[in-house]
């Protein structure tokens, strides 16, 4: 007697909801949608960047990692960052490397490196220079900013969840950062006006871009939640912009590919802020295809199409990501 097929035993491809297929086919077309699904159902490539605060000799660090049999290929849009290619004969759990424990490397998804790489930092960081990471834990972008600042100026790492502070603190300490202050606050309630030279807002989102990392996301996919997510994201964007100094830069990013959290969210934000300017982002080696021109009958302004970054997983063999840079 054959056993009844359980939900858990059904291949993930067969669990894709019709609404998911409908929305992403609308964005990509049938042929490109198939490439998209083929990519997101594969495990993500592991990646890391070298932390020059702790790694005195970058070339030596790379050599020592390669000696372990790990095959490296460069992350083209981030200096001293690498993919650890799959090798059936070698363990590639980067978090267990000696170099990780020493803080010489930081394990980070390659698209997550983009917001900090998109920012401009002075060659010489003044003592008064202030940077805010509005949603900091577990610390990937915070530590990346810290390296750019070379422990100069002041870096505020804000996090809402007290439970996530421990991981943030450990990662900051391991990375050798000494100019960071941790705050626990709802980022929408951070007080002040025109306080910061740079702000990173990696906003809470639905996570539709990180299915390779969290496959169960595809089972939970529910576009009905996008309206409330966009409301939160706009509140965070508005507060971030008030905290930004005139002439300052801020980035807004999500690990979502849903337009409501990305282009359409930025469209609403720009309509509400007369002195907000969208800046062009150039990241060398990053392939950017299938820019979104419209969605569900809503036309996306040409400026938003051209100046924001939408990273599709199939184009760079990464997770999905959205990014824009705004100046005041």
What share of the chain has pLDDT > 70, as a percent? Answer: 96
Rounded average pLDDT over 84-99? 82
Q: Which domains does the chain have, with CATH numbers?
A: 46-107 (3.30.70.1170), 111-327 (3.40.50.150)
Distance of alpha carbon 41 from alpha carbon 33, whole angstroms: 12
Rounded average pLDDT over 132-136? 98
Output the pLDDT for position 1. 42
Q: Is 167 helix (H, G, I), strand (E, B) or coil?
A: helix
Helices (H), 90-157: 98-101, 114-117, 140-149
Distance of alpha carbon 300 from alpha carbon 298, whole angstroms: 6
pLDDT band at 291 (very low <50, low <70, confident <90, very high): very high
Rounded average pLDDT over 191-210? 97
* pLDDT higher than 80, residue 154: yes
Output the pLDDT for position 5. 53
> Is the pTM of the predicted complex or chain greater than 0.75?
yes
* pLDDT higher than 80, residue 2: no
Rounded average pLDDT over 116-124? 97
Whether 205 sits among the annotated catalytic residues: the reply is no
Instruction: Count CB neighbours of 14 within 10 A.
Output: 6
Q: Is 105 helix (H, G, I), strand (E, B) or coil?
A: strand
Rounded average pLDDT over 13-17? 87
- Whether the CB-CB separation of 81 and 75 falls below 8 Å is answered with yes
Rounded average pLDDT over 195-217? 95
Output the pLDDT for position 316. 97
44 or 259: whose pLDDT is higher? Answer: 259
Output the pLDDT for position 216. 86
Output the pLDDT for position 87. 72
Of 78, 255, 265, 324, which is the active-site residue?
A: 255
């Amino acid at each position: 007697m054959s056993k009844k097929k359980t939900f858990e035993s059904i291949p993930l491809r067969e669990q894709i909801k019709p609404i998911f297929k409908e929305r992403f086919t609308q964005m990509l077309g049938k042929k490109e949608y198939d490439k998209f699904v083929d990519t997101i159902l594969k495990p993500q490539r592991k990646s890391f960047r070298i932390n020059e605060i702790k790694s005195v000799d970058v070339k030596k660090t790379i050599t020592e990692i390669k000696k372990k049999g790990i095959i490296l290929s460069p992350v083209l849009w981030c200096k001293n960052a690498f993919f650890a290619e799959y090798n059936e004969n070698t363990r590639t759990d980067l978090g267990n490397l000696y170099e990780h424990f020493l803080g010489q490397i930081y394990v980070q998804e390659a698209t997550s490196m983009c917001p900090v790489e998109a920012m401009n930092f002075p060659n010489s960081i003044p003592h008064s220079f202030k940077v805010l990471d509005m949603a900091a834990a577990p610390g990937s972008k915070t530590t990346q900013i810290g390296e750019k600042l070379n422990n100069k100026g002041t870096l505020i790492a804000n996090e809402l969840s007290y439970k996530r502070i421990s991981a943030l603190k450990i990662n900051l300490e391991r990375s050798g950062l000494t100019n960071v202050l941790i705050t626990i606050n709802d980022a929408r309630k951070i007080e002040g006006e025109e306080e910061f030279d740079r702000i990173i807002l990696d906003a809470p989102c639905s996570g539709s871009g990180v299915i390779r990392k969290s496959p169960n996301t595809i089972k939970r996919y529910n576009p009905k939640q996008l309206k409330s997510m966009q409301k939160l994201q706009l509140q965070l964007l508005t507060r971030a912009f008030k905290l930004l100094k005139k002439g300052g830069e801020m980035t807004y990013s999500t690990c979502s590919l849903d337009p409501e959290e990305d282009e359409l969210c930025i469209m609403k934000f720009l309509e509400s802020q007369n002195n907000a300017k969208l800046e062009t982002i150039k990241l060398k080696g990053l392939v950017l295809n299938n820019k979104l021109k419209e969605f569900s009958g809503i036309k996306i302004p040409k400026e938003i199409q051209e100046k924001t970054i939408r990273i599709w997983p199939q184009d760079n063999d990464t997770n999905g990501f959205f990014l824009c840079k705004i100046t005041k």
